[in-house]
Amino acid sequence: MNNYSNLRSHNSPDLWQKKAFITDDWLGILIVITILSLWFVSLYSLLSVSVFDISWAGLVVLILGRTYLHTGLFILAHDSMHGNLIPSNRTLNKIIGRLMVGIYASLNYDRCAVNHANHHRYPSQKGDPDFHGNLSHPVFWYCKFLSEYFSWRSLILFLAIAIAIFCALIMLCKVSIVNLILFWLFPLVLSSLQLFFFGTYLPHCQIHQNPNFSPRLESNFYTILWSFLSCYNFGHYHWEHHEYPQTPWFRLPKVHR
């Protein structure tokens, strides 16, 4: 029996029904519209500003804000893979998921969905695409993590689309390449690091002894706020996500024991 089976074996259906809250369709759609709108509006606004008129502190805040919104795109796709985004409409749920990973980095939704299913089936062991294998150093682990989801085909597609968009914006809209790098490419890189560090490395590093993969973590206003800001609850409440995968990201604190 794998680790995930062990995690679930002690739960009864009644406990599951009591703790797992399924999001309503309208709420899922509202969250999608909010994150996607903020992503596009912020990018549109920041591509036209002069970065040299922004203080270093302001620049850091803006980049981190863009990073957080970019991570939000993948979080929405992740919920789609679990069927939690639009629960009653699987077709729309999957369409939105494909759109989110497409905007995120031209990723293949089906590849991501299969990999994530295997991650839940074989957490931190052979068969888990998120597991570090024989190379547990964070740098090597991060590279393996990227390679599992970002195939060569996805990379080529992403580069082709990015180059085409960049050229069009630079030549036709007179957008500075500095703005494109700072507010589009750089947040993408930081977002991948955020997803890896808070959503994979911290929860799954030495999983059996790791307090980050435990239902006993403290849960209060400050930890909930930090969990939301660090990785949309998938860091601090990672155990809960594996235990109750049908619970959407924003309700994970409610299933905390």
pLDDT along the chain (257 residues), means of 10: 36 41 75 98 97 96 98 98 92 97 96 96 89 87 92 92 97 97 98 96 78 71 92 91 92 84
Angle, nearest 10°, between helix axes 186-196 and 56-81? Answer: 60
pTM of the entire structure?
0.88
Any residues with CB less than 8 A from the CB of 172 and at least 6 apart, and which? Answer: none
> Is residue 87 within 8 Å of residue 25, measured between CB atoms?
yes
* Residue tagged 């903020």 (tokens): 38
The pLDDT score that the predictor gives to residue 211 is 65
Cα(187)–Cα(116) distance, rounded to whole angstroms? 23
Cα(115)–Cα(129) distance, rounded to whole angstroms? 6
The pLDDT score that the predictor gives to residue 18 is 40
Closest among 196, 203, 207, 195 to 237, alpha carbons compared: 203
> What number of other Cβ atoms are within 10 A of residue 177's Cβ?
11
The pLDDT score that the predictor gives to residue 208 is 62
